[in-house]
């Protein structure tokens, strides 16, 4: 029986830290579904369509990775698609408290739910999408922190 893990997040934009986690998850699970969150509380830099296009471009040709989206509760998405495994990255101790609380709440609402916490590669422990957006917003570049597809989208968004 094939095991699929879901990697939820806003991915605005996806970074090499996210990508590292996906490929390491594929050493444990047969497939990974990257579920892009539609968060009505945030104004993302990239539209849902753009974020999904970027991710599909990054993982082009990788048939073990599916890109999807969800709105609302993660557990509703999981139940709808018959998934029960979620992977989450923990960059620092500060991430743990919120992630632990969410994992326990999700398990309370969906008893078959399991969260796998993964730590990033050491060179990505500081990295998040906000850092990337800040670098590019002010004219910087970070090609070692994002793949070429993401860099192209960032340049198009910020180059004036």
Indicate which residues carry an active-site annotation. 18, 42, 91, 129
| Residue 16 to residue 14: CA distance in whole angstroms | 7
- Taking alpha carbons only, the member of 22, 44, 38, 32 closest to residue 129 is 44
User: Which of 6, 21, 11, 3 has the alpha carbon at shortest distance from 73?
Assistant: 6
Q: Is 45 helix (H, G, I), strand (E, B) or coil?
A: coil
Smallest CA-to-CA distance from 44 within 130, 124, 126, 128 is with 130
How many whole angstroms separate alpha carbon 160 and alpha carbon 158? 6
The verdict on whether omega for the bond into residue 45 sits within 30 degrees of 0, i.e. cis, is no
Q: Find how far residue 141's CA is from the centre of its chain.
A: 21
């Amino acid at each position: 029986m094939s095991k699929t893990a879901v990697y939820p997040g806003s991915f605005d934009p996806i970074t090499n830290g996210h990508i590292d986690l996906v490929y390491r998850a594929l050493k444990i699970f047969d497939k990974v579904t990257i579920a892009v969150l539609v968060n009505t509380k945030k104004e993302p830099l990239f539209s849902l369509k753009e974020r999904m296009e970027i991710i599909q471009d990054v993982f082009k040709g990788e048939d073990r990775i599916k890109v999807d989206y969800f709105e609302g509760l993660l557990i509703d998405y999981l139940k709808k698609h018959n998934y029960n495994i979620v992977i989450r990255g923990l960059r620092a101790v500060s991430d743990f408290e919120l992630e632990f609380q969410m994992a326990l709440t999700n398990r309370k609402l969906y008893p078959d739910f399991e969260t796998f916490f993964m730590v990033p590669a050491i060179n990505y422990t500081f990295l998040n999408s906000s850092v990337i957006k800040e670098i590019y917003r002010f004219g910087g570049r970070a090609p070692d922190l994002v793949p070429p597809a993401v860099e192209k989208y960032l340049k198009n968004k910020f180059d004036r």
